[in-house]
Chain A
């Protein structure tokens, strides 16, 4: 290549329409939302802790997962070429999309070429990111979400508020009401029993599954040496979409690669336990190109950049591309627990969203997100691939536009946090109010809270204090919560 091509930022639903503190204000004032979030994050956290504790080699799995992903990032161009060659040899057609608009155009064109005016969809963050449903609709193609929670959100003309349980902001009575209003074939006597609601969704979608000609999915993993795609799910709607239609189109971020099929032995242990707190999710599907006589006979894969090259270009922020979207960091985060997913304004909420979204768009376009954190470190502790989210948050704060004195503080913080010994020492200093973390303040109650965040998150701390680690390690603090 004679002229180097610069990495490029992305667009789509990864931009905060409002600064985080403004968006969070509504959530913080909504008692039902806060109660739902509180219950959900605590329940999932407890389940996760239980099944992680029974794995004696959990830390070894995390180390392997983290290293495999670092290796993927280092070798991304060659692994993508290898994946393309393997998938193509197995009968798939591989497409490349520079940004959200190009990815949408490709999917629209493929759907039209298949002669379809509707598609069934498996829950996929990549297709939410590129706003595919909107693009399909604009092209006269109906897109049907088939994941129960996504169906609720779609019927409610809403956006997901959590990666794992996207409709967590609704109660069963509200779900019943949404079904009765929007589901043409909902039973007249539908109750708000979870089993009855699930049954209504099953009946509603079954005909659609049995007659669908085109399905759109994402993928949890894409395996370079074999060309295999992997989808992890619970309800079976994934299997329906991946198995019954004639044409399958999978939209995959370039960072989803794994070098070898064997590497799945690490990630299929890390993901379910971190995500739903189960030993294994009910269904995992893997397919490699086309299998004659079994499943879709036309298989397309759209590899999407949309800002990932810009993330890769930052050596400090790069590990954000390791994320396997388990949502453990959301459930661990005290800010997310109060603010909910909508406040982040992006498909990627919580701690991972606070580092990934600003990197995908460029920090200037998402400047408030790196402040949506107390830097307590809970996200780093639970992350199955050991992404040092606090370090990246501080690194990004340095790039956000703010006064020089603050930038200097952030540079110092970043330097401190990059080294565990310096960080521990700073925390000790912070506790006596003399260190760079002098914002810590012992309230009369004895609880540690952060009273003032730097702008723009200062609007957030004006309305409430944020809890901070007690004067022990984070784990001790967490045990007490």
Chain B
């Protein structure tokens, strides 16, 4: 008998007592009615020591110190207005070593969750593949206010489960040395969020 068939048979035998059907009570909140979702998001992000900027005007200033910038191929042109450094589009795909030599990466996101301060990337428009936002030490992420939802359940309904999903809540961190929080172990050590409103 194959391992598969044997394990499935063992599990069926184990359930010989016939446990009754289960009703899952879903009395938890599915929607957040808070008015100040963007303020909550900013508060949570800053709590994780991410740096938050408002308005597209913040971008040129942020990028002025970046010599080598990686971007997904479909990054909106207006995000790069006036950028004078070396621009590396991810086509053909940049090698891990090339990504390691970048000063920063600039992307958008799919959804942001106010309640937990989480930014979700799904490899959709202006986000690129996963390695792009992982290897460079600094991640600059543009979040449109209409992408902000209140709670996790709201975020999940906006996502395609089959896309590779990366949820980011602040920069990489560890607390493993005497419970001291240290920012940045293997992922980007700096996360900067630029919030722009619809149509901006």
Q: Which residues of A contact B (CB under 8 A)?
A: 1, 4-8, 36, 39-40, 43-44, 56-57, 60-61, 63-64, 67-68, 70-71, 73-74, 76-77, 80-81, 84, 90, 95-98, 102, 146-149, 152, 165-167, 171-172, 175, 194-195, 197-198, 201-202, 205-206, 209-210, 223, 226, 228, 234-237, 239-240, 243-244, 254, 261-262, 264-266, 268-269, 272, 276, 278-289, 291, 293-295, 303, 305, 309-310, 312-313, 315, 318
Contact = CB atoms under 8 A, between A and B. Distances in A.
B165 A286 contact: yes
Contacts of B117: 279-280
Contacts of B23: 67
B171 A5 contact: no
B7 A303 contact: yes
A291 B14 CA distance: 36
Contacts of A202: 184-186
A234 B174 contact: yes
Task: Assign chain B's interface to a size class.
Answer: 35 or more
A290 to B, nearest CB: 10
Given A57-B27, A202-B185, A294 B130 contact: yes
A194 B30 CA distance: 39
Given A5-B13, A64-B24, A284-B167, A294 B162 contact: no
Interface in B17-51: 17, 19-30, 44, 47-48
Interface centre among A84, A147, A195, A234 (most CB of B within 10 A): A234
B6 interface: yes
Given A67-B24, A194-B178, A286 B161 contact: yes
A171 B177 CA distance: 7
B179 A40 contact: yes
A68 B25 CA distance: 9
Contact of A291 (B152, B163, B168): B163
A67 B22 contact: yes
Contact of B28 (A64, A236, A276): A64
A61 B28 contact: yes
Contact of A236 (B3, B24, B118, B134): B134
A420 to B, nearest CB: 19
Given A146-B186, A315-B17, 13 more contacts: A6-B10, A67-B25, A71-B22, A74-B19, A167-B176, A234-B185, A236-B188, A261-B156, A278-B169, A283-B166, A283-B167, A312-B15, A313-B16
Contact of A309 (B10, B161, B171, B180): B10
Given A77-B11, A280-B117, A312-B11, A236 B162 contact: no
B174 A198 contact: yes
25 contacts: A5-B1, A5-B9, A6-B13, A60-B26, A60-B29, A63-B27, A64-B25, A76-B15, A147-B176, A198-B184, A234-B173, A234-B175, A235-B173, A235-B187, A236-B187, A279-B44, A280-B167, A283-B172, A285-B165, A286-B164, A287-B165, A288-B162, A293-B93, A312-B11, A312-B14
Nearest to A211: B96
A230 to B, nearest CB: 9
Contacts of A266: 28
Interface in B116-130: 116-118, 123, 129-130
A382 B3 CA distance: 36
A373 to B, nearest CB: 25
B60 interface: no
A303 B3 CA distance: 10
Given A201-B185, A264-B156, A285-B166, A5 B48 contact: no
B118 A237 contact: no
Nearest to A313: B14
B8 A80 contact: yes
A282 B186 CA distance: 12
Contacts of B167: 280, 283-286
B179 A43 contact: yes
A74 to B, nearest CB: 4
B177 A172 contact: yes
A142 to B, nearest CB: 19
B115 interface: yes
Contacts of A197: 177
Contact of A7 (B11, B30, B113, B168): B11
A239 B14 contact: no
Contacts of B1: 5
A282 B134 contact: no
Q: Which of B12, B24, B117, B170 has the most CB of A within 10 A?
A: B24
A56 B8 CA distance: 40
Nearest to B122: A286
B177 A194 contact: yes
A43 B178 CA distance: 11
B162 A98 contact: no
